Chains A and B, each alone.
Chain A
Amino acid sequence: MAKSPCTHGQAPCFDQNYHLDRGDVEGSAGLTRRVRGVAQKENAVSKRWKEPAHILGVGCTRFGNLLETPELAGLGLQELAAMAAKEALADAGMGPQDVDAVFVGNVTMQTSQMPATYSQLANWLGTRFKAGVHFDAACSTTNVGATMAAMGVASGAYDRVLVVGLESTQSQPDGLSPYARTTIPTEEMWLWTDQCVNKAYSVPQGYDIFPTYNAFVAQGYCRKYGVSLEDLDRGLFELCRTRRLHGAMNPKAIRQQTLEDEAKAMGFDDPWAFWTSRYNPHVAWPSRLYSVVTPADGASAMVIGRGDEAVAGASAPVELKGFGVSVMDLPWYDDDPTVMPIDKESFSKAYTMAGIQPGDIDYLHTHDCSHIMSICSAEASGFLPEGQGLAYAREGRLRFDGDRPMSTHGGRHAFGHAWAASAGSDTYEAVKQIRGQAGPRQMPKAPKTAVIHTHGYAMISTVLVLQGGN
Chain B
Amino acid sequence: MADSTVKKYYDGLAQGKLLGKKCNKCGGVTFPPTTACNECGSYEQDWTELSGRGRLLFLSHGIAPPPNPRFNDLAPYGYGHVKLEEGVYVQAIITGVDISPDALRKHFEAGPSPVIPDILDVEGLPVLAFKAG
Contact = CB atoms under 8 A, between A and B. Distances in A.
A219 B28 contact: no
A222 B79 CA distance: 18
Contacts of A457: none
Contact of A285 (B32, B66, B104): B104
| Most A CB within 10 A of own CB, among B9, B87, B91, B99 | B91
Contacts of A219: 58, 60, 108
Contact of A210 (B32, B62, B128): B62
Contact of A208 (B32, B67, B101, B122): B67
A205 B90 CA distance: 11
B65 A212 contact: no
Contact of A330 (B74, B77, B80, B91): B91
Contacts of B91: 207, 211-212, 216, 330-331
B21 interface: no
B65 A282 contact: no
A79 interface: no
Interface in A229-259: 229
Contacts of A283: 63
Contact of B60 (A34, A190, A207, A216): A216
B41 interface: yes
A211 B122 CA distance: 21
B133 to A, nearest CB: 19
A201 interface: yes
Interface in B46-68: 57-58, 60-63, 65-68
A34 B39 contact: yes
Contacts of A34: 28, 38-39
Nearest to B37: A34
Interface string B109-133: 0000000000000100101110000
B83 A284 contact: no
A325 to B, nearest CB: 17
Interface in B66-99: 66-71, 74, 77, 79-81, 83, 87, 89-93, 99
Nearest to A215: B60
A205 B32 CA distance: 11
Contact of B81 (A188, A190, A191, A337): A337
A188 B89 CA distance: 27
Contact of A204 (B40, B68, B99, B105): B68
B102 to A, nearest CB: 10
Contact of B92 (A206, A210, A333): A206
Contact of B127 (A190, A206, A222): A206
| Most A CB within 10 A of own CB, among B58, B104, B105, B129 | B58
| Most B CB within 10 A of own CB, among A205, A216, A287, A334 | A205
Contact of A211 (B39, B61, B83): B61
A210 B71 CA distance: 16
Given A37-B40, A191-B67, A206-B66, A285 B81 contact: no
Given A37-B40, A204-B127, A206-B68, 4 more contacts: A34-B38, A206-B122, A211-B58, A216-B60
14 contacts: A29-B87, A205-B127, A206-B129, A208-B66, A210-B60, A211-B62, A211-B91, A212-B81, A219-B108, A282-B101, A284-B61, A285-B99, A331-B81, A334-B89
